[in-house]
Structure 1
């Protein structure tokens, strides 16, 4: 689990105009909340935050006006047209040792059994509970040797130590489908007449 240090500043101006001014200054408006405390409105450096968010479920060590806090991203709003531009971020305060529920990406490895099969990722993420400083970035599922009709359920996925499954254990994560051969198109009357 990556822990990234970012310096943030508290802010007192709100609204669209203030948010636009911050974005012009290459900063991202955000809110930090959790543990029953009042939400704190902050600004974060755009580039540093963008780099940090490349790691799924990154743990942010925030220096907010000299006070150190740990937080994880809860909601990230991006510009609809320019995906590299962050509009706003909601951060959830966490403590070391505290358990949090997060979504982790499901990755596949291995080769299917010989034949024409398709892999369908029914779930791209699993909801898990993990200690805030040990959140897995992803879980890997082996599809080696699987054939059409086989399925992997959430309960079959091996999770890292200290991580527990929150998703329904019987939920299908990956299923293997037999590729269906396309039926030859029926010859039209014109084609049959041309052959004659």
Structure 2
């Protein structure tokens, strides 16, 4: 994914009151940090930023003070009920640098008939090039039978990415719904019970 441009301006007001004023103006307070430099407090245009944050692990080119700084979003604080963005922490990155990020797990395929899958881990932690971060990883459960487990180490990662999550960590399990198991047990018990006229 190409860099996403974000227009920003240096922020000089701080505190809860200042943050509320910024959000009332349809803007978002944020901070740029990393590489041993002092944090840079900035303000972002609200709508542009909301649209940009729809992409997981995007690489941003933050335009501020006449320059451009590459960064990734490390922490996005949202309002609990309405979901609007309250604040963003951006980690400054350089091309060629590797960073740790969380990637969502997307399930593909269908497990064996009569089974269901349970996602034990919604995301994995990986290390990858800051300029080539995946939005998600795919986990295929096609044809998997009851009792099958997919671990983090089984997941195919994009080229150049390395797994940080424990490779033995379970990502998906395949099972038969309990109701069906109970029904099968009842049927089996009925088959084994003697008929009334045989008693």
Give the TM-score of the pair, scaled to structure 2.
0.89
The count of corresponding residues between Structure 1 and Structure 2 is: 182
1:123 equivalent in structure 2: 121
Task: Report if the CA contact (8 A) 1:4-1:52 is conserved.
Answer: yes
| Structure-1 residue corresponding to 2:3 | 3
**Equivalent residues of 1:71, 1:91 under 8 A apart:** yes
| Cα offsets for 1:162-190 (capped at 9, x unmatched) | 11100001101111012122658xxxxxx
The match for 2:193 is none
Runs ≥4 residues deviating over 2 A: 181-184
1:87 aligns with 2:70: no
Question: Deviation of residue 117 (structure 1)?
Answer: 1.2
Is residue 29–residue 44 contact of structure 1 (8 Å, CA) maintained in 2?
Answer: yes
Hey, what's the Cα distance between the residues in 1 that align with 2:67 and 2:106?
37
Encode CA deviations 1:28-61: one digit per residue, 9 max, x unaligned: 0011100000000000001111101100011110
CA displacement at 1:12 relative to structure 2: 1.1
User: CA deviation digits over 1:81-101, x for unaligned, max 9?
Assistant: 211x11111000000110000
The separation in 2 between residues aligned to 1:80 and 1:106, in whole angstroms, is: 23
Match of 1:64 in 2: 64
Select 2:174's aligned residue among 176, 179, 195: 176
Determine the structure 2 residue equivalent to 1:16. 16
Counterparts of 2:120 and 2:176, CA distance in 1? 15
- 2: CA distance between counterparts of 1:81 and 1:124? 22
Aligned to 1:164: 162
Whether 1:42 and 2:42 are equivalent positions in the alignment is yes
Q: Which runs of 5+ in 2 are unaligned?
A: 184-199
- Give, in whole Å, the separation in 2 of the partners of 1:67 and 1:36: 19
Match of 2:153 among 146, 152, 155: 155
How far apart in 2 are the matches of 1:16 and 1:179? 49
Q: What TM-score, normalized to structure 1?
A: 0.90
> What is the deviation of 1:77?
0.8
Consecutive unaligned residues of structure 1, counting only runs of 5 or more, are 185-196
Separation in structure 2 between the aligned mates of residue 171 and residue 130 of structure 1, nearest angstrom: 20
For residues 137-180 of structure 1, give each alpha carbon's deviation from its aligned partner in whole angstroms, at most 9, with x where no partner exists: 11111101101100001111000101110000110111101212
Distance 1:2 1:21 in 2: 32
